């Protein structure tokens, strides 16, 4: 009976190790090369009522800063956003989560929206390119509770 119990323990240990390896591999699958990622879609900008509130990253939102919200990119990721209607560009840093409106890929600060010339329109077509991404281990990520939504 003793050898059978040892065999079961060994099998369970091997299963746990393989499961751990499988979970770790998912951290790398689907993590795109940040330098080559480009997205097209619609951009909107934050309403003034969010000025001074905490973002999902824990930073205080300032309407004139060059920041944005993105659903999945790590906090601290730098993006080049180009307004497809007029060709104007701005570089912004991801500090929040969102947008949660269908069809939108990024929510911009008012300062970034001004540089893109999209304030009057409110929503515009954009091309977003990831230009740098922080080390995932050093990125401070929090939940979305208490954010602008």
pLDDT in tens, 80-126: 999 999 999 999 999 999 999 999 999 999 999 999 999 999 999 99
Whole-model pTM: value is 0.68
> Above pLDDT 70, what percent of the chain?
70
* Per-residue pLDDT at 18 exceeds 80: no
Which pLDDT score, from 0 to 100, does residue 8 have? Answer: 74
Q: Are 78 and 104 in contact (CB under 8 A)?
A: no
In 3D, which of 88, 93, 86 has the Cα closest to residue 139? 93
Q: Is the dihedral of CA 148, 98, 36, 33 positive or negative?
A: positive
Alpha carbons 52 and 18: distance in angstroms, whole number: 46
Q: What is the pLDDT of residues 22-78, one digit of tens each?
A: 444 444 333 444 445 899 999 999 888 899 999 999 999 999 999 999 999 999 999
Q: Are 41 and 105 in contact (CB under 8 A)?
A: yes
93, 94, 99, 100: CA torsion to nearest 10: 180
């Amino acid at each position: 009976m003793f050898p059978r119990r040892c065999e079961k323990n060994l099998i369970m240990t091997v299963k746990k190790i393989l499961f751990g390896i499988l979970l770790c591999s998912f951290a790398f699958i689907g993590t795109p090369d940040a330098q080559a990622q480009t997205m097209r879609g619609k951009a909107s900008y934050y309403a003034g009522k969010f000025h001074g509130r905490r973002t999902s990253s824990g930073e205080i939102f300032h309407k004139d800063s060059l920041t944005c919200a993105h659903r999945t990119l790590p906090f601290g990721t730098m993006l080049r956003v180009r307004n497809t209607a007029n060709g104007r560009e701005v570089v912004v840093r991801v500090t929040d989560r969102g947008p949660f409106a269908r069809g939108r890929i990024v929510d911009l600060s008012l300062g970034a929206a001004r540089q893109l010339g999209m304030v009057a329109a409110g929503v515009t077509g954009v091309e977003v390119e990831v230009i740098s991404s922080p080390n995932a281990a050093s990125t401070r990520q929090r939940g979305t509770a208490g954010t602008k939504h």
